[in-house]
Chain A
Amino acid sequence: MNLDLILFLVLAVVAVATAIGMLLSRNAVYSALFLVLNFITVAVFYLLLGAPFIAMAQVTVYAGAIMVLFLFVIMLLGAESLPKAEVLPWQKPLAVILGFVLIAEAAYLLITRARPLGQIAPPGDAANDPLTLQQLGMSLFQDYLLPFEVTSILLLVAMVGAIVLIRKERRVH
């Protein structure tokens, strides 16, 4: 029992709690906020795992941009209200059962089949070494240049698409 483990467990509890909170919350805004908390927790995890860049990216993009977008739309659509009665009565029980089964399977696999890969060392100074970051950048722009460029085009397409979707509607009217 060392500090890393305790830290991990605390954060894990938080992450799961927020996730469940997002799941069960009746208010969509509350769900969104829970999710933000979850994302931040995950970002801390990244830091623990020695991936500072990703941690920052997570906070910036996920928690900062995506969730904000979500909150915009939630506000726009006034989606707090919940409509009528249940149409698929068997959906919820079956889903819960399946969820548990999934967990059980995953646990079984991990416990019986997993080979010990190793332990995560807490990030030392080497993690914040600008050399590692430089290596990451090099790897990104050399080995994975093509996906990088394609991703930029993807983002462009997404932008254009979002605008087209909105605009066309208006033009028709």
Chain B
Amino acid sequence: MVEINYYIILSAVLFTIGALGVLVRRNALIIFMSIELMLNSANLAMVAFGSVLESFSGQIFVFFVIAVAAAEVAVGLALIVEIFKSKRSIDVDQMNSMKG
């Protein structure tokens, strides 16, 4: 018997790690992967709640999230490839043309 709180704490930790990854790493691909990690943690929390509340909504929601994440990754990676072609680097610190 596992309390749901444990799942939630786990989700929070994974989320934080993902957030840290977005902030700390300079590699665009790593950043992308961290985003996927964050999405994943959210999915975990949703399934946990769905299980506790004995409803299918959580699983269905996660289903859609996964689908959207897939689409997003496809387009995002295409973009990164394009950026690499012009900038010859995937260091996000190099992409600062919108400096104020």
A and B touch in the complex (CB under 8 A): yes
Binding site for B on A (CB under 8 A): 2, 4-5, 8, 12, 15-16, 19-20, 22-23, 28, 31-32, 35, 38-39, 42, 45-46, 48-51, 53-54, 57-58, 61-62, 65-66, 69-70, 73-74, 76-77, 79, 82-83, 87-88, 91-92, 95-96, 98-99, 102-103, 106-107, 110, 114, 116-122, 135-136, 139-140, 144, 147-148, 151, 154-155, 157-159, 161-162, 165-166, 169
7 closest residue pairs by CB, A with B: A158-B71, A95-B23, A106-B12, A162-B78, A119-B1, A19-B17, A165-B78
Which residue in chain B gives the minimum CB-CB distance to A32? B33
Q: Is the interface of A mostly helix, strand, loop or mixed?
A: helix
Residues of B within 8 A of A2 (CB): 1
What total of A-B pairs shows CB separation below 8 Å?
A: 221
Residues of B at under 8 Å CB distance from A?
A: 1-10, 12-14, 16-21, 23-27, 29-30, 32-34, 36-37, 40, 43-44, 47-53, 56, 58-60, 62-64, 66-75, 77-82, 84-85, 89-91, 93-94
CB < 8 Å: which of B9, B63, B68 contacts A57? B63
Q: Are A35 and B37 interface neighbours, CB within 8 A?
A: yes
Residue of A nearest to B11 (CB): A106
Asked if B66 and A61 sit within 8 Å, CB to CB, the answer is yes
Interchain CB contact under 8 A, B60 and A139:
yes
Cα–Cα distance between A48 and B48 once the two chains are bound (Å): 10
Q: Contact at A19–B60, with CB atoms within 8 Å?
A: no
Q: A23's contact among B8, B24, B70, B90, by CB below 8 Å, is which?
A: B24
Give A22's nearest chain B residue, CB to CB.
B33
* Chain B: minimal CB distance from A105 (Å): 9
The contact sample of 15 A-B pairs, CB cut-off 8 A, is A22-B33, A22-B37, A32-B33, A42-B43, A62-B66, A69-B77, A77-B81, A96-B24, A99-B16, A106-B9, A116-B3, A120-B48, A136-B59, A161-B75, A166-B78
Known: A139-B60, A158-B75. 4 other contacts (CB 8 A): A28-B30, A42-B44, A45-B47, A165-B75
